[in-house]
Amino acid sequence: MPATTLDSLIFRDIFTTEAMRRVFADEQRTAFYLEIEAALARVQGRLGIIPAEAAREIESKCKIKNIDLNKLKAQTERIGYPILGVVQQIVAVCANGLGEWCHWGATTQDITDTATVMQIRAGLVLVEAEMERIAAALADLAHRYRLTPMAGRSNLQQAVPITFGFKAASLLAAFQRHRQRLKELRPRVLVGEFAGAAGTLSSLGADGLNVQAALMQELGLGQPEIAWHTVRDRIAEVGAFLALLTGTLGKISMDVKLLMQTEVGEVFEPFHEGRGSSSTMPQKRNPISSLYIHANTALVRQHAAALFEAAVADHERSTGPWEIEWIALPEIFLLSAGALAQTRVVVEGLQVDEAQMRANLDITHGTIVSEAVMMGLGPYLGRQRAHDLVYDICRAATTSRTSLVELLARNPEISKHLSRTELERMVDPAHYLGLAGEMVDRVLAIEQQARS
């Protein structure tokens, strides 16, 4: 009976995805074991290390239909690892005792680690596809709202105006960096393991490296320069990458939640009938996807830390740290998949209220552009005097709820240098966007180049 949110009939497609569950399911993991054993037999038969007849027989029997998973469960509980149980079942279905050549020269961890890398490879394909869809949606938002002014915020307070396109482009730039990280880590991480008992391939003698090279070629994986049974940086790097990626997803969810607040109301998650409704407060429109993204991404970071713990392994074959990966790595991928899927839903259907963004720029009676006024007065009054004068006028505007431009125009020290028309332009948030548009264009140019 499913007991966790990742397997729950009710919750599983909220917190993860069916596609990623299939990658890490018992059936697929066992199928990868069989694919490796079949490739090993094929390579060793071709190299004359095992009889060609045995190689053909083993390869023909390395099919998931020949594995009784209930029996494998019992074997694994008795032995402690699933690989020997898989091999025993294959040996049993091979004709004429030819199955005895199965798993020749290999060790349990060789098959397990290589299967894990194959799961990582399949999982990263799914991750990359979601990344690209999210990046495309962010690029669309950046382009569409390139010059849509909104309040930039610092310490949850209005700071200076930015544009919503600028906010979207800054997130898109992070996805561009994640894209580069993924490209760089694949050659380091997608490396198989075939090294024998203590990593020296002693069971195969002089043929060991030839078998290793041919096996990795068959599987489409990199050949290790040396055994990595207890040197686990490859696995930890994947966890670190997904922690970084989902950290950006968490950032998106945080901003969406804050911008959906009743007092802000600048963006909203996509609307569906009944979604985000309260059981007692009919007026509410709660963020939903953003909540799940926040929860998932927090757990990814915690599980990534566990992979770093697993990297502290003893000698040439470890006594427990390895098994940490068995728990943490699948959950990292499953939770990341859920966060990516929920983020895609948010950014592809995000509802943006440009009018409310503009209205919120005006709630401080113009003081959000006090920096612009200070810099504009600097050449006439000096920077420090301009700062102190504008500071006092901003306080007066806030307490009296009078517009900043009105108080500026009344001040004789200012009015002798700047007309009201000049002051009105100075305090218009749309005229104090800096180089937001140009920065958006730079990010979009990088994105276009990446997709061309």
Mean pLDDT confidence for 367-393: 91
Report which residue type is found at 71.
Answer: K
Q: What is the pLDDT of residues 172-227, one digit of tens each?
A: 999 999 999 999 999 999 999 999 999 999 999 999 999 999 999 999 999 999 99
Active site residues: 278, 317
Backbone angles phi, psi at 271, to 5 degrees: -90, 135
Tell me the CA distances in angstroms from 431 to 149, 402, 408, one per residue in order: 9, 21, 17
In whole angstroms, give the CA distance from residue 395 to residue 51. Answer: 89
Q: Residue written as tokens 């005895």?
A: 100
Q: What is the DSSP letter of 2?
A: -
Greatest Cα pair distance, the chain, in angstroms, is: 105
Counting Cα atoms < 13 Å in the Cβ hemisphere of 434 gives 15
pLDDT, residue 282, reads 64
Per DSSP, which regions of 119-272 are E strands?
Answer: 149-154, 157-163, 267-268
pLDDT, residue 184, reads 98
Q: How many residues make up the chain in this entry?
A: 452
- Give pTM, 2 decimals: 0.94
In whole angstroms, give the CA distance from residue 46 to residue 78. Answer: 35
Q: What is the pLDDT of residues 19-60, one digit of tens each?
A: 999 999 999 999 999 999 999 999 999 999 999 999 999 999
Q: Does 108-193+228-268+285-360 match 13-106+194-224 at the fold level?
A: no
For the ranges 28-37, 255-264, 271-280, 363-372, the lowest mean pLDDT is seen at 271-280
pLDDT, residue 2, reads 84
Q: pLDDT at residue 99 above 90?
A: yes
Q: Is 433 exposed, middle or buried (0-12, 13-18, 19+ CB in 10 A)?
A: buried
In whole angstroms, give the CA distance from residue 138 to residue 133. Answer: 9
The domain defined by 13-106+194-224 carries CATH number 1.10.275.10: yes
Right CATH number for 108-193+228-268+285-360 from 1.20.200.10, 1.10.287.3610, 2.70.210.12, 3.40.710.10? 1.20.200.10
Mean pLDDT confidence for 394-414: 91
Query: Per-domain residue ranges for the chain?
Result: 13-106+194-224, 108-193+228-268+285-360, 367-426
In whole angstroms, give the CA distance from residue 353 to residue 150. Answer: 10
CATH architecture of 367-426: Orthogonal Bundle (1.10)
In whole angstroms, give the CA distance from residue 138 to residue 451. Answer: 14
pLDDT, residue 365, reads 87
Tell me the CA distances in angstroms from 27 to 65, 119, 286, 436, one per residue in order: 10, 12, 38, 50
In whole angstroms, give the CA distance from residue 415 to residue 424. Answer: 12
Give 240 or 427, the one with higher predicted confidence: 240
